């Protein structure tokens, strides 16, 4: 068997949205399709890595050769990632994790009564920040979906969450990002900037995987 670029490496990737339960029949979520994370998982497997994909609810099929773990809430995702992260060489946080969860999930379906109602929310754990805070942290890559001041917000996240790289996409632009089959990314390290121009998510994923491998080598 031929040795590939990522042979012997373990990559852990999160993808898709999370669902935060309100009661047994309702939840809060977002429009993430999971396409970018799945494309990265496929590209990493093709490059020879052992890939674990911790996935929120999506309608995509599992890329061949990828070990997929299904989760629903941000808390589930956090728990699975912290369990799987040992011996991981590269962690990529591609999931659109809900920032908040419902403070008190109702055990019964909430009945309709008053004209208005309130739901209290509390902050979810920050998965990528918790991984990057580990003593033997993997090479850690985050995503930043922004609509303005992309470079400023992306670099702020890179530093605040102690990441090695951050991939920023402009979700205000048509035909890329959320749900689209195409994407364009600007990737920041502490002192460098890399442009991955608009292409299919599969092409962008291949370029991103190569860039991560190269930046990880440079760091070691």
The contact set with ligand C5P (CB under 6 A) reads: 14, 74, 93, 95, 97, 124, 126-128, 142-144, 157
Least Cβ distance, residue 1 to ligand C5P (angstroms): 33
Contact predicate 69/43, CB 8 Å: no
Least Cβ distance, residue 170 to ligand C5P (angstroms): 14
Q: Which two tokens stand for residue 113?
A: 């009564």
Contact predicate 154/144, CB 8 Å: yes
Our answer to whether residue 30 is catalytic in this structure is: yes
Among the listed residues 97, 101, 161, 166, the one whose alpha carbon sits nearest the alpha carbon of residue 131: 161
Q: Rounded to the nearest 5°, which phi and psi values hold at 7?
A: -55, 130
Least Cβ distance, residue 155 to ligand C5P (angstroms): 13
Between 41 and 127, CB nearer to ligand C5P? 127
162 vs 174: CA distance, rounded Å? 30
Between 52 and 124, CB nearer to ligand C5P? 124
Q: Which two tokens stand for residue 8?
A: 């012997």
Least Cβ distance, residue 24 to ligand C5P (angstroms): 24
Residues with Cβ < 8 Å from 133, sequence gap 6 or more?
A: 162
Contact predicate 39/207, CB 8 Å: no
215 vs 220: CA distance, rounded Å? 9
Between 128 and 212, CB nearer to ligand C5P? 128
Between 171 and 199, CB nearer to ligand C5P? 171
Please pick, among 30, 67, 76, 182, the residue that the annotation labels catalytic.
30
Active-site amino acid positions:
30
């Amino acid at each position: 068997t031929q040795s590939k670029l990522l042979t012997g490496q373990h990559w852990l990737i999160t993808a898709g949205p999370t669902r935060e339960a309100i009661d047994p029949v309702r939840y809060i979520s977002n429009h993430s399709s999971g396409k970018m994370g799945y494309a990265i998982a496929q590209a990493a497997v093709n490059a020879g890595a052992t890939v674990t994909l911790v996935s929120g609810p999506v309608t995509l099929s599992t890329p061949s050769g990828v070990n997929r773990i299904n989760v629903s809430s941000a808390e589930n995702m956090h728990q699975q990632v912290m369990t799987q992260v040992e011996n991981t060489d590269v962690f990529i946080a591609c999931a659109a994790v809900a920032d908040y969860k419902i403070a008190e999930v109702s055990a019964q379906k909430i009945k309709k009564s008053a004209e208005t109602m309130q739901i209290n929310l509390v902050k979810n754990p920050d998965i990528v920040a918790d991984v990057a805070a580990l003593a033997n942290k993997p090479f850690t890559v985050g995503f930043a979906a922004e609509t303005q001041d992309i470079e400023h917000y992306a670099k702020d996240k890179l530093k605040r969450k102690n990441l090695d790289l951050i991939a920023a996409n402009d979700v205000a632009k048509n035909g890329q990002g959320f749900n689209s089959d195409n994407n364009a990314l600007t990737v920041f390290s502490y002192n460098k900037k890399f442009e991955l121009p608009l292409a299919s998510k599969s092409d962008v994923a291949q370029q991103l995987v190569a860039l991560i491998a190269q930046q990880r080598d440079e760091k070691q």
